[in-house]
Structure 1
Amino acid sequence: MKKAQLLIIINLLTMLLAINLLSEHRTKSYFGGLPWYGWAGVGVFLAIAGVWFAIRDARRARRLLEEPVPPKAASDQVSQISKEDLERLAPDAPDYPHPVIFPERCIGCHACVDACPHDVLAIVNGIASPVARDQCMEDTACQVECPVSPKACIVINTTKKIKPRPVPVRDPSFMTNVPGCYIIGDVSGTPLIKNAANEGADVIKHIAHELNNGAGVEPKAEVDVVIVGIGPAGLSAAIAAKQFKFRYVGIEQDKVLATIDAYPKGKYVFFKPESMASRGTIAVDGAGEQREKILDSWIETMNTNGVLINEGESCKSIKKAEDGDYFVVQTERGSEREKVGYRARRIVLALGNRGTPMKLKVPGEEMKITRDERTEDKVKYKLTDPTVYRRKRLVVVGAGNSAIEAAVDLVARRNGDQIAFLSENEINEVTLVIRSDMKNDLKFLNKLQVYQCIDEGKIKAYFGTGIKEIRDAEIVLMNARTSEEKLTIPNDYIFAMIGGDRPTRFLESIGIKIA
Structure 2
Amino acid sequence: HALRARRSRRPSRDAEAMLRPAARVRLPRIDTTTCLGCYACVDACPYDVLAVERYVAVVARPEACCGLTLCEQRCPNGSLTIEGGAPIEGRPRLGDDLGSLDVPGLYLAGDITGLPLIKNAIHQGAFAAARVAEDLRKAGDRGPGLDLIIVGAGPAGISAALRAKELGLSFEVIEQGSVAQSIQSFPRGKLVFDQPLDLPVTGKLWLKESTKEELLAHWLRIVRKERLPIAQETRMVSVARLVGGAGAAADAPAGFAVVTEPRDGGPRTERRARRVLLALGQRGSPRRLPFELAAEVEGRVYYHLADARSLAGQRVLIVGLGDVAMEAAIALSRQPATEVTVVYRGGGFRRGKTRNIEEMRRLVAASRLSLRFETDVAALTADPRGALAATLASPSGAEAHPCDAVLVLIGSIPPWSALRAAGVRPTVEPSDRSAPGDVEGTTPAGPPP
**Please, what TM-score do these two structures have when normalized by structure 1?**
0.64
1:490 aligns with 2:403: yes
1:187 aligns with 2:112: yes
Q: How does 1:151-162 map to 2 (within 5 A)?
A: 152=73, 162=85
Cα separation, 2, equivalents of 1:317 and 1:82: 50
Cα separation, 2, equivalents of 1:332 and 1:230: 16
Distance apart, 1:400 and its partner CA: 1.6
Aligned to 1:255: 178
Cα–Cα, structure 1 residues 185 and 431, in superposed 2: closer, same or farther, change >3 Å? same
Q: Which amino acid aligns with 1:499?
A: G
3-state SS of 1:326 partner:
strand
Match of 1:141 among 44, 47, 63: 63
Match of 2:241 among 320, 330, 338: 320
Aligned to 2:291: 362
Cα separation, 2, equivalents of 1:286 and 1:457: 37
Match of 1:446 among 333, 356, 376: 356
Cα separation, 2, equivalents of 1:395 and 1:444: 23
* Contact preservation (8 Å) 2:25, 2:88: no
Encode CA deviations 1:154-182: one digit per residue, 9 max, x unaligned.
99899x98436453333333212121111
Match of 2:96 among 144, 166, 172: 172
Aligned to 2:161: 238
Cα–Cα, structure 1 residues 131 and 268, in superposed 2: closer, same or farther, change >3 Å? farther
Match of 2:328 among 406, 414, 419: 406
3-state SS of 2:139 partner:
coil
1:500 aligns with 2:422: no
Unpaired runs of 5+ residues, structure 1, are 1-73, 94-99, 122-129, 370-376, 413-421
Match of 1:468 among 379, 394, 397: 379
Of structures 1 and 2, the one scoring higher in RCO (CA 8 A, sep 6+) is 2
3-state SS of 2:204 partner:
coil
Cα separation, 1, equivalents of 2:126 and 2:27: 38
* Contact preservation (8 Å) 1:109, 1:192: no
1:294 aligns with 2:215: yes
**Please, what TM-score do these two structures have when normalized by structure 2?**
0.72
* Contact preservation (8 Å) 1:263, 1:384: yes
Q: How does 1:8-47 map to 2 (within 5 A)?
A: none
Unpaired runs of 5+ residues, structure 2, are 1-22, 246-253, 428-449
Cα separation, 2, equivalents of 1:439 and 1:338: 47
Q: How does 1:367-406 map to 2 (within 5 A)?
A: 377-406=299-328
* Contact preservation (8 Å) 1:201, 1:237: yes
Aligned to 2:141: 216
Cα–Cα, structure 1 residues 469 and 367, in superposed 2: closer, same or farther, change >3 Å? same
Encode CA deviations 1:240-281: one digit per residue, 9 max, x unaligned.
334445443322223211222222333332233x6x654575
* Contact preservation (8 Å) 1:200, 1:235: yes
Encode CA deviations 1:168-211: one digit per residue, 9 max, x unaligned.
33333321212111111222233233332233233222222222
Q: Which amino acid aligns with 1:140?
A: P
Cα separation, 1, equivalents of 2:25 and 2:338: 50
Encode CA deviations 1:306-341: one digit per residue, 9 max, x unaligned.
123222333343232346512233344222365443
Match of 1:345 among 274, 284, 304: 274
Q: Identical aligned pairs, as a percentage?
A: 25
Q: Which has the larger radius of gyration?
A: 1
1:479 aligns with 2:396: no
3-state SS of 1:466 partner:
strand
* Cα RMSD (Å): 4.0
Cα–Cα, structure 1 residues 323 and 161, in superposed 2: closer, same or farther, change >3 Å? closer
* Contact preservation (8 Å) 2:25, 2:67: no
Aligned to 2:13: none
Encode CA deviations 1:402-459: one digit per residue, 9 max, x unaligned.
11221122113xxxxxxxxx5xxx1312222323444511344433433443444433
Aligned residues: 388
* Contact preservation (8 Å) 1:399, 1:437: no
* Contact preservation (8 Å) 2:30, 2:58: no
Cα–Cα, structure 1 residues 323 and 435, in superposed 2: closer, same or farther, change >3 Å? farther
Cα–Cα, structure 1 residues 487 and 359, in superposed 2: closer, same or farther, change >3 Å? same
1:430 aligns with 2:351: no
Distance apart, 1:468 and its partner CA: 1.5
Distance apart, 1:497 and its partner CA: 0.4
Q: Which amino acid aligns with 1:186?
A: D
Cα–Cα, structure 1 residues 356 and 307, in superposed 2: closer, same or farther, change >3 Å? same
Cα–Cα, structure 1 residues 315 and 145, in superposed 2: closer, same or farther, change >3 Å? same
Q: Which amino acid aligns with 1:303?
A: R
Aligned to 1:229: 152
Aligned to 1:52: none
Distance apart, 1:293 and its partner CA: 2.1
Cα–Cα, structure 1 residues 383 and 347, in superposed 2: closer, same or farther, change >3 Å? same
* Contact preservation (8 Å) 1:407, 1:432: yes
Cα separation, 2, equivalents of 1:269 and 1:78: 25
